[in-house]
């Protein structure tokens, strides 16, 4: 701790589970005792949550530490100072513009008024998960470090991206401005849980960094063979069902589609994690906003099919297509007729309120089992908001709700289907790697290091050669 304080600005490279969150929390605590406030910036809201919790556990409070996502902090700043930022923004952020926001925030940070605010507000800025910074975020942090002593924390082996054009910052560039501060490393996450696993994860880092294959022979992981065959999905769900009761489990797929397939097979016992932008919800919301009745009707039932088991079998594909053609559907089965009626009613009235009623009716279908809780409840809430406020369209309501989640953080389900990208920084008791052959080195390391008690790896052979 003293070493960090003395070498500011600096960077601290810490592997997963080596106590990074704890270290940042303790650092903030140390500053609090010296009556300095700390600004902690990270990337995900899950990260924000974890840091806040850890700080609270140490007896800290929001009076002394502010924990925000970099982008959330940037947007908040430029929203208040459009002239300093030279960018006018709407009250709700549109994260497609995040790059613009960051550059604007960089401009604002370089003004006298904001510098003064930062100077009187903080004695330390700590940036977590620095390997996830894109270049524009890096620029903001560079501007910040000119005003307030700054420490950046990260692990270049956990840099995961799917942001298209956005370039992640090169770790070499980071080291130039933030000289490395070497600390002794211990695999804290696994202490008292699965210390072998913790040690093994430290051992494989050099191989992963240099792009070599790693062997699972003798490794403290449970390996299952999985082939490209029809039994593939079956093997995956068996592995998931086999996980011990009483602990949290994350099942990690590779592509969003795989995850949905897997989640659907798991009969609602696992809930699927959505990416923060909420693409699928937005897509549906925009259809409702356009308001083409037959399109809305079909999209409503298709959306339900994607969120829950038990819908597709009750309202067959043929009927869903009929709706799309603007023709009403019906069923003679008592337990199905109400859902049919409500869906047909959408052909007359496809307002958000009516869509909401239809979805709720679908939820009463027999064998209805939700596996995309997040997508479902967010959509229901957005439809409710839009139905009571005629000024509000559904897509805006979805964005607002997602932003709200961004700010307050979401509660993870006990059993989750997700992807390495979405669970960075999260911790579970057990992890199942559904498709370990397709990961790159960073994805593989992130996936393997999520759980502290046990890991199951599904791959074609007990040798993993990251892409």
Partner 1 sequence: MDRSQGDNAPVKIRSVSIQNFRGIKNCEWKLDRRLACLVGPGDSTKTTILEAIGLTLSRSYRPRFGDADFHRCNTEEPIKIEVAVAELPDALIAEQSLGKDRSGIGPNGSFQHDPQEGTEECLIVRMVVDQTLEPRWTVVRPEEGTDEGKPISAAQRRALGFFRLGEDSDSHLRWGRGSALNEVSEDTDEAGGVVLAAHREARIAAFDAIPSQLQEAAGRVQKASRKLGAGPYRALRPGLDPAGSSGRFPLLLHDEVIPLTSQGLGTRRLTGIAIQEQAVVGGSIIAVDEIEHGLDPHRLCHLLRYLKAATKREDLQVILTTHAPVTIAALEAADICVVRSEAGKTTVAAVPSDLDEVQGAVRHAPSALLGRRVLIGEGATEAGFIRRLCGYGDERRGALDEPTSITAGVEIVNGGGGDQALQRAIVFSKLGYPSAVLVDNDDSEIDARVAEAENAGVVIVRWSSGRAIEDEFAHSLSAAGLREFVALGIGNRGEESIRAQVEAQLGKAPGDLEGVDPFTWTEEGADEEEALRMALAAAAKGTKAKGEGRGEEARREERSAWFKREDHGERLAELWRAHHAEMREESALPEVLEKIKAFVYGG
Q: What are the CB-based long-range contacts (under 8 Å, 24+) for 442-447?
A: 442/157, 442/158, 442/159, 442/160, 443/160, 443/254, 444/208, 444/420, 445/16, 445/157, 445/158, 445/201, 445/204, 445/205, 445/208, 446/16, 446/158, 446/160, 446/420, 447/252, 447/420
| By the rule CB under 8 A, 318 interacts with partner 1 | no
CB within 8 Å of 218: residues ≥ 6 apart: none
Taking CB under 8 A as the criterion, the residue among 10, 18, 23, 118 binding partner 1 is 118
| Segment near partner 1 (CB under 8 A); pick from 115-123, 253-261, 399-407, 422-430 | 115-123
Give, in order, the Cα–Cα distances in Å from 398 to each of 65, 98, 132, 464: 30, 18, 26, 40
| C-beta separation of 244 from 430 below 8 A | yes
Taking CB under 8 A as the criterion, the residue among 84, 264, 272, 281 binding partner 1 is 84
> Quick one: 81 or 101, whose CB is closer to partner 1?
81
Report the relative pairing of strands 451-459 and 428-433 from DSSP bridges: parallel
Taking CB under 8 A as the criterion, the residue among 56, 116, 209, 327 binding partner 1 is 116
Element (H, E) at 459: strand 451-459
Strand, coil or helix: what is 68?
strand
| Segment near partner 1 (CB under 8 A); pick from 116-124, 131-139, 405-413, 456-464 | 116-124
- Binding string, 119-138, against partner 1, x = CB under 8 A? -xxx----------------
Report 12-71 residues binding partner 1 (CB under 8 A).
37, 39, 63, 66
| By the rule CB under 8 A, 102 interacts with partner 1 | no
| Segment near partner 1 (CB under 8 A); pick from 8-16, 73-81, 242-250, 400-408 | 73-81
| By the rule CB under 8 A, 146 interacts with partner 1 | no
**Torsional class of 301: left (φ above 0), alpha (ψ -120 to 50), beta (otherwise):** alpha
Q: What is the smallest separation between the CB atom of 112 and partner 1, expressed in angstroms?
A: 6
By CB under 8 A, the count of residues binding partner 1 is 20
Q: What is the smallest separation between the CB atom of 118 and partner 1, expressed in angstroms?
A: 7
End-to-end CA distance of the chain, in Å? 37
Q: What is the smallest separation between the CB atom of 84 and partner 1, expressed in angstroms?
A: 5
Q: What is the smallest separation between the CB atom of 140 and partner 1, expressed in angstroms?
A: 15
| By the rule CB under 8 A, 290 interacts with partner 1 | no
> Quick one: 65 or 158, whose CB is closer to partner 1?
65
Residue 331 DSSP symbol: -
Q: How many CB atoms lie within 10 A of CB 199?
A: 14
Taking CB under 8 A as the criterion, the residue among 57, 82, 195, 333 binding partner 1 is 82
**Binding residues vs partner 1 (CB under 8 A):** 37, 39, 63, 66, 76-77, 80-84, 111-113, 116-118, 120-122
């Amino acid at each position: 701790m003293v070493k960090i304080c003395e070498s500011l600005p600096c960077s601290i490279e810490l592997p997963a589970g080596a106590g990074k969150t704890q270290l940042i929390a303790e650092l903030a605590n140390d500053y609090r005792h010296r009556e300095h406030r700390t600004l902690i910036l990270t990337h995900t809201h899950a990260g924000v949550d974890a840091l806040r919790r850890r700080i609270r556990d140490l007896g800290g409070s929001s009076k002394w530490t502010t924990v925000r996502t970099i982008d959330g902090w940037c947007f908040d700043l430029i929203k208040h100072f459009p002239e300093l930022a030279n960018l006018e923004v709407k009250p709700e952020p549109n994260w497609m513009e995040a790059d613009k926001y960051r550059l604007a925030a960089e401009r604002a940070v370089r003004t006298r008024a904001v510098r003064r605010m930062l100077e009187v507000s903080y004695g330390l800025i700590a940036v977590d998960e620095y390997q996830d910074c894109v270049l524009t975020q890096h620029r903001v942090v560079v501007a910040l470090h000119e005003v307030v002593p700054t420490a950046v924390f990260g692990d270049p082996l956990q840099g995961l991206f799917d942001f298209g054009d956005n370039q992640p910052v090169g770790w070499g560039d980071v080291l130039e401005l933030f000289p490395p501060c070497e600390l002794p490393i211990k695999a804290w996450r696994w202490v008292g849980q699965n210390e072998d696993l913790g040690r093994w994860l430290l051992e494989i880092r050099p191989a992963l960094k240099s792009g070599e294959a790693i062997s699972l022979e003798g490794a403290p992981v449970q390996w299952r063979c999985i082939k490209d065959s029809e039994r593939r999905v079956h093997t995956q769900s068996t592995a998931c069902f086999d996980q011990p009761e009483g602990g949290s489990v994350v099942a990690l797929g590779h592509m969003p589609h795989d995850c949905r397939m897997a989640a659907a097979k798991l009969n609602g016992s696992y809930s699927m994690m959505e990416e923060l932008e909420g693409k699928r919800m937005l897509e549906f919301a925009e259809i409702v906003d356009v308001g083409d009745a037959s399109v809305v009707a079909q999209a409503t039932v298709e959306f339900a099919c994607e969120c829950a088991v038990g819908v597709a079998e009750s309202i067959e594909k043929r009927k869903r297509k009929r709706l799309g053609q603007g023709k009403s559907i019906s069923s003679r089965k008592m337990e199905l007729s109400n859902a049919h009626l409500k869906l047909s009613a959408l052909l007359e009235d496809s307002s958000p309120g009516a869509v909401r009623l239809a979805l709720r009716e679908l939820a009463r279908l027999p064998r209805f089992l939700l596996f995309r809780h997040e997508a479902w409840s967010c959509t229901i809430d957005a439809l409710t908001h839009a139905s009571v406020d005629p000024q509000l369209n559904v897509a805006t309501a979805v964005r607002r709700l997602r932003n709200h989640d961004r700010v307050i953080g979401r509660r993870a389900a006990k059993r989750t289907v997700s992807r390495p990208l979405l669970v960075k920084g999260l911790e579970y008791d057990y992890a199942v790697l559904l498709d370990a052959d397709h990961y790159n080195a960073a994805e593989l390391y992130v996936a393997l290091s999520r759980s502290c008690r046990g890991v199951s790896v599904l791959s074609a052979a007990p040798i993993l050669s990251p892409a």
